[in-house]
Amino acid sequence: MQRGDSLNSPFVPFSPNPSIQQGTPTSTPPLKHTLSSSTSSNLRYSSSRKSIYDRHLNRSQRSELSKASFAFLFGEMVQYAQKRVNGIADLEKKLNLHGYSIGQRLLELLLWREGRSAKRETRILGILQFITTTVYRSIFNKPADGLEKSRDNEDEYMLIDNDPMVNSYISVPKEMSQLNCAAFVAGIIEAVLDGCLFPGRVTAHSVPTEQLPAKTVFLIKFDEAVIERESVLG
Amino acid sequence: MSATKAARVGEDVWKTRIDKVNAELVTLTYGSIVAQLCRDFEGDYLEVNKQLEKMGYNIGLRLIEDFLAKTNMGKCANFRETAETIAKVGFKVFLNITPTVTNWTTDNKQFSLIFEENPLADFVELPDDGRAQNELWYSNMLCGVLRGALEMVQMQVDAHFVGDILRGNEVTEMRVTLVRIIDDELPPGED
């Protein structure tokens, strides 16, 4: 990817200074109504309750909620996004951004939980395995179904999910058959890669087979710099 | 159905008949939705509350069917029973929590749900902009869910939060009022 056209896309390659990444999904545009500097307001906390900082971060690690609740939420997310976009690519981008904001938070949580055993991944294979196992397990309670390297393009990898959980209650109308709502998951993966300094783009593609009608391939296309670094590391 | 029986049913259905997912995925997804609304409505939190309620209403209209199918619940004899069922079966089955039913009015038409736990709000702190803590009801989608679901079983209710620990209140409390029983003759939504 050329640096030039990356500026037009919301997926700007990593820069150590977040303030100069204008279009990055991480940067929340400032709220218009926000009162200016006059508000040195302090948040109020319930006096008898623990604030989120006092609660242990592992509290909810093993807790579960109904899959139906997730499906209802996700369905509303998709429908709401659909009203505010033009076309399928745009909708997938919105879902990707939702996933991205989740991935950022999830990564922090996961690394914090790994504690002293946390390892800084420097190699492509290492980071991809972190995603297919640790990240995937933490959100879907199972590892991803496969990981492949593209034969044609050096910078492309494919992460395979035979039946993405997020799609289990989504039925895509015929005229939108290009849509794959797992773009949401692609966003999570992209955020984790970005956060670990492996910037790239991740997109979700349906590749149905007879046995696996919901099979989805997440195509990971790394930025040039990542591939360069990998070759330097040898 | 007594409160204890409702609790037993809720526990039983949750353990045996519910497909589950990681709770944090749900928490983060809800957070992402609220954050998106705050951006789309440019910090107009009152509008965000409305939109959350509306989304919840859409969910409630469909959720009730899932609820009835999974729990095999019959008709509630009165609104007090409805309240216990919402708290001990409904919330248990979908969010694995059982808010406390309390503060009934003497006409038995209005009660409060007190949330000791709220998985939607784990990890959450409201924006420190001097307004969010006064204006945003972070979990407002839940109000819509109740309104939508109960409308499908012939009860028009008003549900709104009156306190949220995210705002610094001592408890997270939702007030639910039975407005009227919807006549069987009228299909919902066309009155």
The predicted-structure confidence for B97-152, as pLDDT tens digits, reads as follows: 999 999 999 999 999 999 999 999 999 999 999 999 999 999 999 999 999 999 99
B191 part of a folded domain: no
In 3-state terms, what secondary structure has residue B101? Answer: strand
Domain count, chain B: 1
Q: How far apart are CA B166 and CA B187, in angstroms?
A: 38
B63 part of a folded domain: yes
- Give me the interface pTM, i.e. the ipTM: 0.93
Strands (E), chain B: 20-22, 100-102, 110-115, 155-163, 172-181
Q: What is the mean pLDDT of chain B?
A: 94
- The residue of B14, B17, B18, B24 whose CB has the most chain A CBs within 10 angstroms, and thus the best one to mutate to test that interface, is B24
Nearest CA in chain B to A110: B24
B186 part of a folded domain: no
B49 part of a folded domain: yes
Q: At what angle do helices A183-195 and A87-114 cross, to 10 degrees?
A: 50
**Would you list the domain boundaries of chain A?**
64-233
Is A67 in contact with B21 (Cβ distance < 8 A)? Answer: yes
- Whole-number pLDDT of residue A234: 82
Q: What share of chain B has pLDDT > 70, as a percent?
A: 96
- In 10 A of CB A181, how many CB atoms? 23
Which CATH number do you get for residue B122?
3.30.1380.20
Nearest CA in chain B to A57: B123
Select A64-233's CATH number: 3.40.50.620, 3.20.20.70, 3.40.50.300, 3.30.1380.20: 3.30.1380.20
Closest-CA distance, B107 to chain A, in angstroms, reads: 32
pLDDT > 70? residue A34: no
- Whole-number pLDDT of residue B3: 85
Residue A169, both tokens: 């209650």
B188 part of a folded domain: no
pLDDT > 90? residue A82: yes
Section B18-28 average pLDDT: 95
Chain B residues with CB-CB distance to A105 below 8 A: 28, 31, 123
Q: What share of chain A has pLDDT > 70, as a percent?
A: 82
- The pTM of the full predicted model, rounded to 2 decimals, is 0.87
What band does A28 get if pLDDT is binned at 50, 70 and 90?
Answer: low
Chain A residues with CB-CB distance to B32 below 8 A: 77, 98, 101-102
Is A43 in contact with B38 (Cβ distance < 8 A)? Answer: no
B162 part of a folded domain: yes
Is B33 in contact with A98 (Cβ distance < 8 A)? Answer: yes
Q: Measuring CA to CA, which residue among A74, A68, A160 is closest to residue B21?
A: A68
Q: Which amino acid is at A15?
A: S
Q: How far apart are CA B150 and CA B178, in angstroms?
A: 10
Q: Which of A48, A77, A98 is closest, CB to CB, to B170?
A: A48
What band does B174 get if pLDDT is binned at 50, 70 and 90?
Answer: very high
Contact B22, A67 (CB under 8 A): no
Is A77 in contact with B33 (Cβ distance < 8 A)? Answer: yes
Residue at token pair 């709000």? B121
- The residue of B14, B16, B26, B71 whose CB has the most chain A CBs within 10 angstroms, and thus the best one to mutate to test that interface, is B26
Q: Which of A84, A102, A109 is closest, CB to CB, to B29?
A: A102
Q: Which amino acid is at A160?
A: I
What band does B188 get if pLDDT is binned at 50, 70 and 90?
Answer: low
> Which 8-state DSSP code applies to residue B186?
S
Is B24 in contact with A139 (Cβ distance < 8 A)? Answer: yes
Alpha-carbon separation of residue A132 from A99, A193, A196, B22, B146 (angstroms):
16, 12, 14, 16, 38
